[in-house]
Amino acid sequence: MLKDPHALITHKEHWKDYYLFTLESPIIASQAEPGQFIMVRVSSLSCPLLRRPFSIHSVEGKNIEIFFQKSGIGTSLLSNKITGDFMDIIGPLGKGFSWSQHSKTQDIVLIGGGRGIAPLYFLSQKLHSAGTTPIIFYGGKTKDDIPLKEKFEQKGFTIYCSTDDGSFGFRGLITDCFKDQLKNLTPKQIFACGPEPMMKAISQVAVKRGIPAEFSLESVMGCGFGACWGCVKKIKTKAGSEWVKICEEGPVFSSFEIVWEEQEK
């Protein structure tokens, strides 16, 4: 883990509200594992104040990528950065997916909802180079919300897409698309990231069918490195269940560890 105040933006792409930045940060790139994240300073002024967390989307040599959705002040400011700008980042942070033990497992399923697809690309890269070809489920509100579809297809992965409005692929939630495909698939492991109701629904299916599953959780983060205790989620531990710092112990947890919130908005 380190602070790199001079991560150079070497490439930028965007589709409507989604942005992909390539950052040159050799040490972070060499240490990163799928599911880990970085904390980005979006402004050198004091407003917005806090760094923003983003999953590591891919690693290629000395570069890392982040993929984000413009959804507030911080992400808007970030979206204005251009190739040649520097970014002040801290990473790699947290504990990622336990993918290495599954390198020989086939029928691994990755499920991403919206910008939750971000960490799953890096995971697919690692699994692929370890000899596994994961199956991808990718959902969004409309066809504009699944911009990374081609990126996965180019890797030769099977990908199932869903859109809420039916503008592309399965009409409805990615959860239902996944459930629908379960008649043809026997997943041995699920890795998922997306809105919490989506992850909760997948967790329920996984538990019912006895499929091990891991999820990358989100929470407002003050620091990203364990100092503020702001980012907690309820997690089952030896002591029962506790508020656990997801920046340090997570953000990835298994369906057996996560205590899902009762009410959803």
Ligand X SMILES: Cc1cc2nc3c(=O)[nH]c(=O)nc-3n(C[C@H](O)[C@H](O)[C@H](O)COP(=O)(O)O)c2cc1C
Angle between helices 174-181 and 196-209 (to 10 degrees): 20
Closest distance between another protein and the C-beta of residue 198, in Å?
19
Q: Which is nearer to ligand X, 136 or 231 (CB)?
A: 231
Q: Which is nearer to ligand FES, 161 or 231 (CB)?
A: 231
Q: Which is nearer to ligand FES, 146 or 247 (CB)?
A: 247
Q: Does 228 engage in binding with ligand X (CB under 6 A)?
A: yes
Token pair 């990755």 in the structure block, residue: 110
Q: Does 27 engage in binding with ligand X (CB under 6 A)?
A: no
Closest distance between ligand FES and the C-beta of residue 93, in Å?
9
User: Is residue 244 a contact partner of residue 231, using CB atoms and an 8 Å limit?
Assistant: no
**Residue 235 CB neighbour total at 10 angstroms:** 19
Q: Which is nearer to ligand FES, 120 or 223 (CB)?
A: 223
Give the three-class secondary structure for 177.
helix
- Rounded to an integer, what is the distance from CA 16 to the centroid of its chain? 19
Q: Does 185 engage in binding with ligand X (CB under 6 A)?
A: no
Q: Between the CA of residue 261 and those of 103, 200, 201, 247, what are the distances in Å? A: 32, 9, 12, 18
Contact pattern for ligand FAD over residues 30 through 69, marking x by CB under 6 A: -------x----------x-x-xxxx----------xxxx
Token pair 């413009």 in the structure block, residue: 70
Residues that bind ligand FES (CB under 6 A): 221-224, 226-231, 245, 247
The identity of residue 10, as a single letter, is: T
Residue nearest to ligand FAD (CB): 72
Q: What's the angle, vertex CA 186, arms to CA 183 and CA 190, rounded to 5? A: 115
Residue 242 binds which entry of ligand FES, another protein, ligand FAD, none, CB below 5-8 Å type-dependent: another protein
